Structure 1
């Protein structure tokens, strides 16, 4: 198994204080009995602490999963982070087999992973569950319709100062009604209300699209098949991972261009932009951490590229999962192929034609320069085409790394413009 980079290790940290504490333990001095094996893929060690006995720390690298005898409730704890940082620095010796304390935990973990034979599916029970879910979703949609009417009756004045709580209460009810897609759209509303000049119009647009989705759900039986599938997905009908991986793979050399993390209620959401060198396709890999301290996927490191199979979600060609990896990731040394801003506009239009509720499309545009007309920021590409910088986004980082010169940018095309996430400069890829 290839050694992780320091960036991959630190991406696992549950918070900034854990990063700082882990770095303090990233030295062999307090450690003993450390080692690493490929089979099982694990690293372990004993770390001296304030007590009589050292803390026994084990990391299952295939998970990753963590075990430590320290009292911390964070996962991974500072000892696991420190141990992984030592391993990332190449300072953990290879071993023939795990130490006894590590083997005990690894064996118990492997035993728990052996599942009992799956029971034969019960079609009647599955039908009952589907009917119950449909009833709950219908109730949540009805509640949302009433809430939308209340918003218009009361007016939008003061929405930019209302904060997140009123929206979070509505979103929580939608989650309970098994409509997480609607909940996600509601949770975006306060950021729209706080997006600066022109926010009332943008907020009204978002509320209108929610209303259209509610109406579409009520008429789903009369919609074309593909549009009905989009509505179900936007409401929040889950897609199983195995169903995604069953779709035809797209093998390419995929460049990892950007990573964006955001807190969405109780979820932390990570969105990684991949660009295929041969296909020119741009997709997003989205992962979630459902609990405080739960690590996010750190296997895709910005600035690297890898030969891999990518599987797109049924009915959503912009969202993907990485399947078989045919090579280890290496540093990307060449800029990805970019398209002009006119082509970006065409991609956005085609996306909205298929999915009117699409909010973000990953693109690679360039070479572009950034400037202002005194009222808002714009990107231009030397032709008649231009695109506004997305509302709420300040392009100071792009100005700094480009120095005013044309650069290729990895960006998200949104309803209000382009949000640059990274730029390819003479120094390589720079996150913004």
Structure 2
């Protein structure tokens, strides 16, 4: 099976920078005493320091790795090195029958996927009376927490914001803990986001005021949830922190399309690792967000490759907005990717953002696609500049700016930006129809 992945896309799968360096070092013919492949997998033997070589295999239909080395990283350096080598020199891999250890692993993956699908389809009996009782109990706890939060907010406004920067380490954290106790983790997350505001900037007062306003709007929305349309009931409950059953999501109407992975962001909070993927549908022009959660010491089973496209069916979570969370029913990696449809200038992109906020004022990290832009220095920061001379301040690391100049030579490119209010963050670009992105990790 041909592998139409760039080296940049493969390296996005690496767990850290040291794995990238080690993987590149193993992407040479001399490191592998056996290199073979079939229609659905590629495998090899890499001679390490021990007597027996390490056995490494990669599922090409749904990129996944297995290696006999003792590394706790996933994928390990051997998996990265083998995939890099196969992408660079597929002709150096002999077509062969799959050995037993490869066949067994692939069969186990297929069996696991089938069991997962059967579990999703199974209908376990639900004690509706007990469920309703639990929901009512939680509803009362959330309302009590909201009452405490409202008193806290009014006291904060009454006393003024002047001394907030001096108190951020206890001011928001204590109330966030109270919201967790009230079973409203969504409210806790918004409070912790306020704690993360950059209080060294001149805009911190307006940033805090806007965040407080949205928080208050969400609280009032929940208090009046019975008067809202069904999609807003689901949205408000989700924003508060109520989970939606995966089974119920997958039972919804799917959207079949070719889904392009626009970007991947990794976050770590305490012992929970969260990978966030943004998708774009080629035919539907819909955006979707996919979240993958793992605890420390375990590996994610999802390896969506940024810049690649997957043919599949997405089921969206209930709610409203232009970029809702979704789950795949099934997906297949396509041999060719594509460049998404983009706004032709920054003015149109800003209009798309306004419509997204009108559709859902609680939206965060709204994806925008804009074509024919360049990036220029703006004092100590940077701006996106379009062909009409319009400019928007954009946030990015210095090394990303240097990489973009090296890739594009200062010529226009298509781009993905994630927008939060006045903050535009450049995440990915397409230049000459080739995708480029940068590692995005946050704690």
1:288-367 alignment to 2 at 5 Å?
A: 288-292=292-296, 294-295=299-300, 297-302=302-307, 304=308, 309-316=313-320, 317-319=322-324, 320-321=326-327, 328-332=334-338, 336-367=341-372
Q: Displacement, 1:202?
A: 0.7
Please say if residues 64 and 303 of structure 2, whose CA atoms lie closer than 8 Å, have aligned partners that are also in contact.
no
Q: Displacement, 1:235?
A: 1.5
Determine the C-alpha separation between the residues in 2 that align with 1:267 and 1:170: 24
The 1:23–1:403 alpha-carbon spacing in structure 2 relative to 1, beyond 3 Å, is closer
Asked whether 1:409 is paired with 2:415, we answer: yes
Determine the C-alpha separation between the residues in 2 that align with 1:177 and 1:2: 52
Q: 1:285 — aligned with what?
A: 289
Q: 2:441 — aligned with what?
A: none
1:230-281, Cα deviation, whole Å (9 max, x unpaired): 21121223334454455545555555544444445533333335263x55x3
Q: 2:242 — aligned with what?
A: 237
Determine the C-alpha separation between the residues in 1 that align with 2:171 and 2:396: 21
Determine the C-alpha separation between the residues in 2 that align with 1:119 and 1:246: 11
Q: 1:14 — aligned with what?
A: 15
1:154-179, Cα deviation, whole Å (9 max, x unpaired): 65446557777875676566567554
Determine the C-alpha separation between the residues in 1 that align with 2:73 and 2:181: 27
Q: Which consecutive residues of structure 1, in runs of 5 or more, have no partner in the other structure?
A: none
Please say if residues 227 and 355 of structure 1, whose CA atoms lie closer than 8 Å, have aligned partners that are also in contact.
no
Asked whether 1:23 is paired with 2:28, we answer: no
So what's the TM-score if we normalise by structure 1?
0.75
Q: Displacement, 1:131?
A: 4.3
1:83-138, Cα deviation, whole Å (9 max, x unpaired): 44344443444432333x45555666666775798574132454455445545545
Determine the C-alpha separation between the residues in 1 that align with 2:12 and 2:427: 18
Please say if residues 287 and 323 of structure 2, whose CA atoms lie closer than 8 Å, have aligned partners that are also in contact.
yes
Q: 1:218 — aligned with what?
A: 223
Please say if residues 2 and 328 of structure 1, whose CA atoms lie closer than 8 Å, have aligned partners that are also in contact.
no
Q: 1:77 — aligned with what?
A: 76
SS in 1 for 2:304: coil
SS in 2 for 1:359: coil
Asked whether 1:207 is paired with 2:212, we answer: yes
Asked whether 1:182 is paired with 2:187, we answer: yes
Q: Displacement, 1:416?
A: 1.0
1:43-84, Cα deviation, whole Å (9 max, x unpaired): 544443333444444555666665544333323333333344
1:176-215, Cα deviation, whole Å (9 max, x unpaired): 7554433443343244335733122112211221122123
Aligned length: 424
Determine the C-alpha separation between the residues in 2 that align with 1:70 and 1:150: 57
Please say if residues 395 and 426 of structure 2, whose CA atoms lie closer than 8 Å, have aligned partners that are also in contact.
no
Please say if residues 262 and 277 of structure 2, whose CA atoms lie closer than 8 Å, have aligned partners that are also in contact.
no
Taking only aligned residues, the RMSD between alpha carbons, in angstroms, comes to 4.5
Please say if residues 12 and 305 of structure 2, whose CA atoms lie closer than 8 Å, have aligned partners that are also in contact.
no
1:44-193 alignment to 2 at 5 Å?
A: 44-59=43-58, 67-89=66-88, 90=90, 91-99=92-100, 101-102=101-102, 114=115, 120-124=124-128, 125-131=130-136, 133-134=138-139, 137-138=142-143, 141=146, 144-145=149-150, 148-149=153-154, 151-152=156-157, 155-157=160-162, 174=179, 178-193=183-198
Please say if residues 37 and 98 of structure 1, whose CA atoms lie closer than 8 Å, have aligned partners that are also in contact.
no
The 1:49–1:237 alpha-carbon spacing in structure 2 relative to 1, beyond 3 Å, is same
Please say if residues 277 and 291 of structure 2, whose CA atoms lie closer than 8 Å, have aligned partners that are also in contact.
yes
Q: Displacement, 1:15?
A: 1.6
SS in 2 for 1:363: strand
Determine the C-alpha separation between the residues in 2 that align with 1:312 and 1:60: 27
The 1:269–1:177 alpha-carbon spacing in structure 2 relative to 1, beyond 3 Å, is farther
Determine the C-alpha separation between the residues in 1 that align with 2:218 and 2:263: 30
Determine the C-alpha separation between the residues in 2 that align with 1:62 and 1:289: 22
Q: Which consecutive residues of structure 2, in runs of 5 or more, have no partner in the other structure?
A: 439-443
Q: Displacement, 1:421?
A: 3.0
Q: Displacement, 1:287?
A: 2.8
Q: Which stretch has the larger CA shift, 205-214 or 394-403?
A: 394-403
Q: Displacement, 1:12?
A: 2.7
Q: Which stretch has the larger CA shift, 47-56 or 368-377?
A: 368-377
